[in-house]
Structure 1
């Protein structure tokens, strides 16, 4: 396959590695299976990365980018905090699909790896900061805003876990109303 290394970018490989992580954690990031999935030879990989560790680092950076501050930018730009919270919770709930793999949950199996620990901490921080800011703007004092944000975030991760493991998980439309009702301050 001549020119295949120019068809795929380093980011294409990183995104494929992120999908592999969602399906099987860091152990699923292997060059040959990813090359098969992408329809190229290993030569394409080596045009962008020296080794698997570089690809893992790029995949974690891609996940941090797409699920941290940059991935939350559109929601963070909503000026009305109640609308922001509703849209944030609704977006999350609607993205939860039964038996769907999750990068976040898959990475928890590799949480002792310092690269994973840093990436998860980064994404958690970005998400929690947005939730805390939103609850503060809704009038909660700092301690309550932080507590409410942590509970809401824990519930979101719990919903992802349940959906990943339960084929009979409730439909997201049903959950969206419940989640927003529970986590909007009264």
Structure 2
């Protein structure tokens, strides 16, 4: 059954494009298959976008909005850095679903595309800045805080990769506890 084109928003199309990107990278973003998936005609697409490139750009902006600085604002507002780090790690680990595709990891296959390079760079910078700030507030010196942030972020991306390939991964709760224990620095003694 085909739905009326006015019922879908540009954001609906962008989110559908993100699901396609997660499953198969930028090459998976094609108007006709997305229209079939959404249960609409191609006319719905053209009511919002002039071409596929506009849809790709909108999808990448939606991803940056939902995974970069705007999405991190609530976590950034947590005053206690230990609680902030614990919640950041817990949210990331709980979002990792076994065998679930990841937009971030799929975009890495298209990393030479300037649009992808920009979007991934913006999300990476936002996440690394918040992690670095958190480690600074936990008492680590600037260089060590930046280094610890990179290692923690690399582990987060690694968890995403494992979730795509390991159906026997531990529960999100167990992973969150382990990640928190691993990446929360010991309080200074003295």
User: Is 1:164–2:150 an aligned residue pair?
Assistant: no
Counterparts in 2 of 1:2-17, with a 5 A limit? 4-17=4-17
Residue 5 of structure 1 deviates from its aligned partner by: 2.8
**CA distance in 1 between partners of 2:98 and 2:18 (Å):** 19
Runs of 4+ in structure 1 deviating by more than 2 angstroms, as ranges, are 1-5
Residue deviations 1:30-69 (CA, integer Å, cap 9, x gap): 1011101111000000011010000000000000000001
Counterparts in 2 of 1:115-126, with a 5 A limit? 115-126=115-126
Give the structure 1 partner of residue 78 of structure 2: 78
Counterparts in 2 of 1:21-170, with a 5 A limit? 21-170=21-170
Q: Secondary structure at the match of 1:97?
A: coil
Residue segments in structure 2 that go unaligned for 5+ positions in a row: none
Residue 20 of structure 1 deviates from its aligned partner by: 0.8
**CA distance in 1 between partners of 2:72 and 2:2 (Å):** 39
**CA distance in 2 between partners of 1:88 and 1:2 (Å):** 40
Q: Secondary structure at the match of 1:34?
A: helix
User: Is 1:184–2:184 an aligned residue pair?
Assistant: yes
Distance change >3 Å, CA 32–CA 148, structure 1 → 2:
same
Residue 171 of structure 1 deviates from its aligned partner by: 1.5
When the two structures are aligned, how many residues end up with a matched partner?
Answer: 186
**CA distance in 2 between partners of 1:20 and 1:142 (Å):** 39
* Length-normalised TM-score, structure 1: 0.97
* Length-normalised TM-score, structure 2: 0.95
**CA distance in 1 between partners of 2:39 and 2:76 (Å):** 37
**CA distance in 2 between partners of 1:94 and 1:161 (Å):** 14
Distance change >3 Å, CA 126–CA 132, structure 1 → 2:
same
RMSD over aligned CA atoms reads 1.3
Residue 77 of structure 1 deviates from its aligned partner by: 1.1
